[in-house]
Structure 1
Amino acid sequence: MTTIKTYNAISTIGLDYLKQHDYEINTNDSPKGILLRSQNLHNEKIAASVRAVVRAGAGFNNIPVDDLSKRGVVVFNTPGGNANAVKELTLASLILAARPVIGAIGFANETRGGDVSLRTEVSKGGYRGTELAGKTLGVIGLGNVGSKVANTALALDMDVIGYDPGLNANTAWRIDRHILHAKNVQEVLKKADYITVHIPLTDKNKFFIDSDSIALMKPTAALLNFSRSGIVNDLAAKAALDDDKLRVYITDFADEALFDHPKVIITPHIGGSTVEAEDTSALMAARQLDEYLTTGNIINSVNYPDIDEPFITKYRVGIIHENVPNMISQISKFFGDNDINIEQLSNRAVGAYAYTLVAINDFSDTQQEYVKTALDDIPHVILTRRYVNENY
């Protein structure tokens, strides 16, 4: 049986799915896959047997993607699995940014003696807030979470302006027609009363919101970060708060520089921490892991191109290789030279890497053994795997 190694508390929904599909969990030191949530793998030794790493969540900066890509290890995430949970916490934080709810609760709890209701009524003017209705929400990143936040904010009678550098047809379809599409991020920063960021953390997006970005915002603006630590330069945000150039900063990622600041609200990375989100993400992760290990289909990979084709032949050969010229012709010629008929060939590329999936019916044991070793010897081929259709 195939072993899967897990880190963190993975929902039993996902673990049960794997067990029902004949996987063992944490039974030996040679797993074929790793399933995790927030565990930092950068300092972990990842066994040579591992062929896939799946994060039950959207972010993946806790995984050494570049190193694993060079080894032919597919890294997956589960976009959308916790989108509703993050959306709801973002909306709650918008209200906290508009109304001093936390301070008001503290005041009410500290009021003692006499007529508590009367004393609270007399003093509550110090906790007067503003309404979200009529204010402008700027949403940076219109993916699974950002689009939900933007659409729901309309129901709160907010004006919404959105920006996404990767805007495509799928993104546009998710966005309500009443949401203004900004031409650039500067337009969002200048116009918005509330700004929420929902983009992945990459080398390019490190400190996407920095001192220059904050300088473009209204001094009365509220900034929210429920995306990833490192998207916002916390030191720049703190400096702006200290200089009254930013009204409030709410983040889901603790930073010692922000502790005890009167204009900062920190939640302990609970954006996706709901029962429903953890179940959904774990099940998505388990299914993607099983699909790749048994059929070669890649769905929601962060380092290799996705290929999701029906497995209708007896065999498949999956070839992970560098995205360089002449690879398809070399692969096709190899199969032809070895008298192996290709029923179907699918190929996709993204960045420096490509994936080719070859469907085969007539495939002798001798040919299978030879193909595995010989294909790996072709320059720029990283990893070759064979798949058998047990339902053929």
Structure 2
Amino acid sequence: MISLANSAARRSLRTVSQVRTLSSGIDIDVDHYSSGWNIDDIGEFTAKTGKYQIKTFNKISEKGLARFNPEKFEIMGSDWDSTNANAILLRSHKLQESEIDVSVRAIARCGAGTNNVPVARCSELGIPVFNTPGANANAVKELVLCGMLLGSRRIVDGVNHMKDLGAQGLAKERVEKDKSMFGGQEIKGKTLAVIGLGHIGASTARDAAALGMDIVGYDPGLSIDSALKLPNEIDLTDSIASAVANADYISINIPYIKGENGTHGIIGKNVISSFKPNAVLLNFARGELVDSEAMKEFLDNGDGRYVSDFPDDLLWDHKNAVILPHLGASTEEAEDAAAAMAADTISDYLQTGTIVNSVNFPAVSLPARPDGAIRMSVINKNQPGVLASITDVFAKAKLNIVQQINQSRGDVAYNVLDIDPTANHEAISMKDLQKELTMTDGVLSSRVVFGTPGCGYARNIDGQYWV
């Protein structure tokens, strides 16, 4: 929760005033403010303006961070003592609400999952959360193919055996005799069931088909984009059980979703009972998708295999399991791609208001801001009457809305308005207009996407005006 203790001190403002003269000759007084949250000593706090501040957690790829224009963006680590960040970039860091400054407009994770970000709470606060779908797809796909080979032939066991023999000085003497202990099968001509046909699943299916495998797939939410990437000969089924029934290999590529109707333990006893006795399960999605107890029973009673990229307290030393240390996206190329996508997403949102790849906000593609217009964005609760109240604020100020976009997702609505101030031939105080707009019932925050980078943001927090 947001603490309002010492609110007078915490709401102390650092003002950046600027006057913009439009082509009409009318002066627009733009008072922008920056402030922070959880400031222990307001006297030591110095607002930084003139650039968007991007706070990073974890080590983010330098190539990705280089996508930020240094003239408009400043990158700071998690140990930076300023509490005035405009956006957050992270990888695996488990983000706490206390680490989200009141000035934060957006959060981006350099990866597909967002389980380490309090997404639901961010929605309540009016903060879009972004991810980078597909950025690490090739890296994970390659490891899935590697996992198939590891599950086909006891390669790991053979490597460890040779190390033991080498330590005894017996490697050359025993190699031909002992190799029969590590037999296996080829993957060509075998059947691969791909559960989940998104970026990774579709790519896995395509490349496995190129290796001579027969492909079966299941995805109730298959998108047109993913469908176009599938091999022509794929056989799509209507359930997970039917997909895995005759499969030699099974790759799960679905998101982990908690709660009722979620995916926790979705590969459980009912599904595993449909496996062939020697089936190989490949889990490079999330460890929690697989019921370890049911998987252990399957491995104990047959010649099946389990290859997973996640820790498992029950199966870590099972003779038919290969457990990897979450290597899926651990390639230089994947980290560069994910960081670059996150940087581009944040940069575009902060500078233009465009939303793409958000997990909690609607996708919004915006046209260019008309010459002479001022762009404002408003985030509000998705409830009746709020949009009318927002537009009424501009009408009372005699400001013409040149173009407007309103989109919603769940409980959140996102508005972008380009306004033409020349319709009103009186001096206009953006400070007063923004305050009235932000304090409108149902509004969570507003932003002037115009003028000095890092400024122009205001929030309505429990009826308190924070800028």
Question: TM-score interval w.r.t. the shorter chain?
Answer: over 0.9
Of 195, 211, 215, 1:140 maps to 195
Structure 2 gap ranges (5+): 1-50, 454-467
CA distance in 2, matches of 1:318, 1:231: 39
SS of the counterpart of 1:130?
Answer: coil
- Higher mean alpha-carbon deviation, 28-37 vs 309-318, is at 309-318
CA distance in 1, matches of 2:278, 2:393: 65
Counterpart of 1:383 in structure 2: which amino acid?
Answer: S
Matched-pair contact (CA < 8 Å) for 2:386–2:441: no
Of 270, 273, 298, 1:240 maps to 298
Superposition pairs for residues 82-97 of structure 1, below 5 Å?
Answer: 82-97=136-151
Counterpart of 1:224 in structure 2: which amino acid?
Answer: L
Larger Rg: 2
CA distance in 2, matches of 1:339, 1:207: 57
Corresponding position of 1:222: 280
Corresponding position of 2:368: 311
Query: Compared with structure 1, are the counterparts of its residues 225 and 367 closer, same or farther at alpha carbon in structure 2 (3 Å cutoff)?
Result: farther
Residue 337 in 1 paired to residue 390 in 2? no
CA distance in 1, matches of 2:216, 2:120: 34
What is the CA RMSD across the aligned residues, in angstroms?
A: 2.3
Matched-pair contact (CA < 8 Å) for 1:224–1:249: yes
Structure 1 gap ranges (5+): none
Query: Compared with structure 1, are the counterparts of its residues 58 and 149 closer, same or farther at alpha carbon in structure 2 (3 Å cutoff)?
Result: same
Shift of 1:350: 2.2
SS of the counterpart of 1:111?
Answer: helix
Of 59, 71, 81, 1:9 maps to 59
Shift of 1:162: 1.1
> Number of paired residues?
390
Superposition pairs for residues 32-181 of structure 1, below 5 Å?
Answer: 32-42=86-96, 45-112=99-166, 116-117=171-172, 119-181=174-236
CA distance in 1, matches of 2:68, 2:304: 48
Per the normalisation by structure 2, the TM-score is: 0.78
Superposition pairs for residues 158-307 of structure 1, below 5 Å?
Answer: 158-203=213-258, 204-244=262-302, 247-307=304-364
Query: Compared with structure 1, are the counterparts of its residues 201 and 42 closer, same or farther at alpha carbon in structure 2 (3 Å cutoff)?
Result: farther
- Higher mean alpha-carbon deviation, 266-275 vs 177-186, is at 177-186
Once the two structures are superposed, residues 262-303 of structure 1 have per-residue CA deviations (whole angstroms, 9 ceiling, x without a partner) of: 121111111001111111111111111111111111111011
Matched-pair contact (CA < 8 Å) for 1:311–1:389: no
Shift of 1:9: 1.0
SS of the counterpart of 1:346?
Answer: strand
Shift of 1:48: 1.4
CA distance in 2, matches of 1:229, 1:185: 18
Counterpart of 1:340 in structure 2: which amino acid?
Answer: L
CA distance in 1, matches of 2:253, 2:159: 29
Query: Compared with structure 1, are the counterparts of its residues 281 and 342 closer, same or farther at alpha carbon in structure 2 (3 Å cutoff)?
Result: same
Matched-pair contact (CA < 8 Å) for 1:295–1:389: no
Shift of 1:129: 0.3
Shift of 1:253: 1.1
Shift of 1:343: 1.5
- Higher mean alpha-carbon deviation, 345-354 vs 29-38, is at 345-354
Of 17, 31, 40, 2:85 maps to 31
Corresponding position of 2:410: 351
SS of the counterpart of 2:416?
Answer: strand
CA distance in 1, matches of 2:317, 2:140: 24
Query: Compared with structure 1, are the counterparts of its residues 333 and 23 closer, same or farther at alpha carbon in structure 2 (3 Å cutoff)?
Result: same
- Higher mean alpha-carbon deviation, 61-70 vs 344-353, is at 344-353
CA distance in 2, matches of 1:43, 1:252: 29
Identity %: 38
Shift of 1:165: 2.0
More helix by share: 1
Matched-pair contact (CA < 8 Å) for 2:280–2:304: yes
- Higher mean alpha-carbon deviation, 276-285 vs 120-129, is at 120-129
Per the normalisation by structure 1, the TM-score is: 0.92
CA distance in 2, matches of 1:167, 1:38: 27
SS of the counterpart of 1:18?
Answer: coil
CA distance in 2, matches of 1:310, 1:13: 28
CA distance in 2, matches of 1:376, 1:243: 63
- Higher mean alpha-carbon deviation, 359-368 vs 314-323, is at 359-368
